[in-house]
Amino acid sequence: MTANPGVQRVRWMEGGGPAADLVLSSRIRLARNLEDYPFPTLLGPEQGQEIIRLMEGVTEHLSAAGLGRFTLLRMADLSPLDRRVLVEQHLISPQHARNAATGAVILNDDRSISIMVNEEDHLRIQCLLGGLQLHEAWAVATRVDDVIEAHVRYAFDDERGYLTTCPTNLGTGIRASVMVHLPGLVLARQAGRLLSQLGKVGMVVRGLYGEGTEALGNVFQVSNQITLGPSEEELIDNLIGFTRQLLDQERSARERLYRENEDGVKDRVMRAYGLLTNAWTISSEEAIRLLSDLRLGIDLNVLSHVRPEVFNELIVLTRPACLQKLAGKELDARERDLLRARLIRERIAAALRKTTQ
Amino acid sequence: MTANPGVQRVRWMEGGGPAADLVLSSRIRLARNLEDYPFPTLLGPEQGQEIIRLMEGVTEHLSAAGLGRFTLLRMADLSPLDRRVLVEQHLISPQHARNAATGAVILNDDRSISIMVNEEDHLRIQCLLGGLQLHEAWAVATRVDDVIEAHVRYAFDDERGYLTTCPTNLGTGIRASVMVHLPGLVLARQAGRLLSQLGKVGMVVRGLYGEGTEALGNVFQVSNQITLGPSEEELIDNLIGFTRQLLDQERSARERLYRENEDGVKDRVMRAYGLLTNAWTISSEEAIRLLSDLRLGIDLNVLSHVRPEVFNELIVLTRPACLQKLAGKELDARERDLLRARLIRERIAAALRKTTQ
């Protein structure tokens, strides 16, 4: 992994983990609220600041827990650009980025843990790992949850479980999600049907950047909808089960595609590679579409000399805020398209496996 | 120049000559008929064969004239594929390729000279050189004409000059033409207007493969229409004059394009390069379009490491008959698209200038 000058290291973007060819990341998010404060919707700015100071104290305990060094960042202290970078890296929500009055985020050094303070709930504990690692992410999130709970009083009801602002999060307060790359199902025109069926079994499907965004680069976020009733482990096993089915179908779709039209698939992949490594200017949409084709080609061994993680890295780094962070200044659309093309050329060149050692 | 296995060396495809960046080739064609035979339209097969035998005798004299070794090929002895290859190399006309009964062609070894026997006229003497070399081509064609005239009796009228089947060729029997690459004027949407104006001054504009074909790859053939009246030298000077004007306008259009949209031009060129060097399958139309962009990029020094002649070579070699000749067998459209892509990848790789000597 090459360093990202100007953009912090984010663990999930480095790839790796089980089923990393299809699963970009696994995320566990816990919604927690503090007993002694009204829900954020009713919270005044003073109380919001109190919660931030409270969590600032907890940050030290978190750093002592062996999960990396934690830092609390106030939205008010971050530039709008830095906040948008955090959104693009999936570390805070777009709404949270806009909450300069009371918003804060606690991050560990490899960004595998992010705790939003005063988002829709007082605390949103998130653990984000590469590949299909929901149980691992759950274990980490639980440890973070335990450290915090040792120092604050959570709003908890013996019957209803963790109390949350939105009733859909009531109970376990957990949301588990996976980010999956499904170009085979999209190319075979099966993705829409399959993913809409997931809705019937309590799963939600979104695009790469959350609700309302289309599936850029054939990347989908699948998450559990239900939080009340089953235990956390059951919810996670459930999502893992559905994800495995989806992965099987994706693999079958890829095999069939390749078997039925090997030349067509190779052509698609090689053209994407040719354009990505040569284009002088490129839009965000075209880049992510071609990067998806590139990654498919790497997974199918059509392009065996390119390291796959370049996809995970570039689908984030080519977003507008990350680009401007890399440039160290605001860029207009034209400048972004030029820098995006250059960044892609350079990163793919750096991601070539050396043929001689 | 790498050898073309299966496809003979053709001098004009090797590029070079004055203004070779814009002028692919210069052609002089002389229409001649034999006094003792009716025009080809009225010629019986027996008489056609007589003319071929007569010219077979002349072939030896041509070989002795210091213009290379000449060979007479009967259409009847060539496979349909071999005839189509000659058409694609601009050595015979499509109509002539279909004349198995009485058609023949005399070629010298570098294919700079081709003499069609029993085409629309008994003899069509053609000299084809790279770059803007109309006077040079005229000098060669004249020498060929003189050698032939020493051994046959031309149909000639003191008042009307050389007698030809079609009155438009009457007089000098000469047609001079240049094949020019005008991507700048096409991109600036000025080509149509400029070229249609040429019609008003006795010039004819056609596409890369003669009448009725569109300007594939932004390559246009410009030739004189008038053969009666001015002398051969005047006709040639006339065409050179118009060509030079066209070249000036093309160069201005390129400079303006590059000045006004450098990034756009670079992007167009680099994408063409990326696709040509990576595509796994490619149609004839897409190939020639991208090859034109590639050549523009070489001329503009955007792509300084690719030798320009690869364009001249590939716009012919990627045509269906040449491809099949290279493959040594008939190919369906799918197979041609695959071979075309491979050939382009290989030839561009071979056309890279070595950075270290």
pLDDT tens readout for residues B60-87 = 999 999 999 999 999 999 999 999 999 9
Q: Which helix (H) or strand (E) holds B32?
A: strand B23-32
Query: Is B16 labeled as ligand-binding?
Result: no
Same structural domain for residues A328 and A188?
A: no
Distance, in Å, from the CA atom of A300 to the CA atom of A251, rounded to the nearest integer, reads 10
Amino acid at site B354: K
pLDDT for res B198 = 82
pLDDT for res B5 = 47
ipTM entry: 0.89
Query: How confident is residue A1, by pLDDT bands cut at 50, 70 and 90?
Result: very low
Does residue A91 belong to any structural domain of this protein? yes
> How does pLDDT run across B162-197, given as a tens digit for each residue?
888 888 777 888 999 999 999 999 999 888 888 888
Same structural domain for residues A224 and A331?
A: no
Does residue B2 belong to any structural domain of this protein? no
Same structural domain for residues B94 and B154?
A: yes
Average model confidence (pLDDT) for chain B? 91
Q: Let me know: does B139 contact B26? Beta carbons within 8 Å.
A: no
What global pTM score does this model have? 0.90
- Which stretches of A191-308 are DSSP H helices? 191-200, 232-260, 262-276, 284-299
User: Which residues of chain A make contact with B266, given a CB cutoff of 8 A?
Assistant: 280-281
Residue of A263, A266, A279 with shortest CB distance to B271: A279
Does residue B3 belong to any structural domain of this protein? no
Q: CA torsion A198→A202→A205→A211, rounded to 10°?
A: 160
Please check the confidence at residue B343 and state whether its pLDDT lies above 60: yes
Q: Hey, are the CB atoms on B275 and A275 less than 8 Å from each other?
A: yes
User: Residue A315, SS3?
Assistant: helix
- CATH code where residue A175 lies: 3.30.590.10
Residue of A263, A273, A276 with shortest CB distance to B338: A263
Same structural domain for residues B86 and B223?
A: yes
Final residue of a structural domain among A187, A222, A253? A253
Could you give phi then psi for residue B109, rounded to 5 degrees?
-70, -30
Q: Let me know: does B345 contact B278? Beta carbons within 8 Å.
A: yes
DSSP secondary structure code for residue B92 in this structure: S
Same structural domain for residues A74 and A193?
A: yes
For the segment A66-93, the average pLDDT, to the nearest whole number, is: 95
Distance, in Å, from the CA atom of A120 to the CA atom of A211, rounded to the nearest integer, reads 15
Same structural domain for residues B199 and B319?
A: no
Q: Let me know: does A127 contact A147? Beta carbons within 8 Å.
A: no
Same structural domain for residues A224 and A298?
A: no
pLDDT for res B190 = 87
User: Which residues of chain A make contact with B276, given a CB cutoff of 8 A?
Assistant: 274
Same structural domain for residues B155 and B232?
A: yes
Does residue A5 belong to any structural domain of this protein? no
Same structural domain for residues A230 and A312?
A: no
Could you give phi then psi for residue A235, rounded to 5 degrees?
-60, -45
Does residue A33 belong to any structural domain of this protein? yes
Structure tokens at A50: 């109190």
User: Residue A71, SS3?
Assistant: strand
Q: DSSP of B190-252, one letter per residue?
A: -HHHHHHHHHTTTEEEEBTTBTT---GGGEEEEEE---SSS-HHHHHHHHHHHHHHHHHHHHH
User: Residue B319, SS3?
Assistant: coil
Same structural domain for residues B187 and B208?
A: yes
Q: Hey, are the CB atoms on A263 and B280 less than 8 Å from each other?
A: yes
Same structural domain for residues B200 and B337?
A: no
Query: How many structural domains compose chain B?
Result: 2
Does residue A6 belong to any structural domain of this protein? no
Q: Hey, are the CB atoms on B274 and A270 less than 8 Å from each other?
A: no
Q: Hey, are the CB atoms on A263 and B274 less than 8 Å from each other?
A: no
Cβ of A238 under 8 Å from any chain B Cβ?
no
Structure tokens at B147: 């050698």
Residue B322, domain extent: 262-351
User: Which residues of chain B make contact with A334, given a CB cutoff of 8 A?
Assistant: 263
Final residue of a structural domain among A227, A253, A279? A253
Cβ of B264 under 8 Å from any chain A Cβ?
yes
Does residue A1 belong to any structural domain of this protein? no
Any residues with CB less than 8 A from the CB of A246 and at least 6 apart, and which?
A180, A182, A185, A194, A198, A222
For the segment B117-143, the average pLDDT, to the nearest whole number, is: 96
Does residue A170 belong to any structural domain of this protein? yes
pLDDT for res A225 = 78
User: Which residues of chain B make contact with A332, given a CB cutoff of 8 A?
Assistant: none
Final residue of a structural domain among A226, A253, A280? A253
Query: Is A206 labeled as ligand-binding?
Result: yes
For the segment A254-274, the average pLDDT, to the nearest whole number, is: 97
> How does pLDDT run across B144-167, given as a tens digit for each residue?
999 999 999 999 988 888 888 888
Same structural domain for residues A29 and A176?
A: yes
Cβ of B331 under 8 Å from any chain A Cβ?
no
- Contacts of residues B77-83 at CB distance under 8 Å and 24 or more positions apart, as own/partner, are B81/B321, B81/B324, B81/B325, B81/B330, B82/B325
Distance, in Å, from the CA atom of A323 to the CA atom of A340, rounded to the nearest integer, reads 7
Please check the confidence at residue B260 and state whether its pLDDT lies above 60: yes
Any residues with CB less than 8 A from the CB of A103 and at least 6 apart, and which?
A74, A75, A76, A92, A96, A97, A116, A117, A118, A119
* CA B313 to chain CA mean position, Å: 11
> How does pLDDT run across B268-296, given as a tens digit for each residue?
999 999 999 999 999 999 999 999 999 99
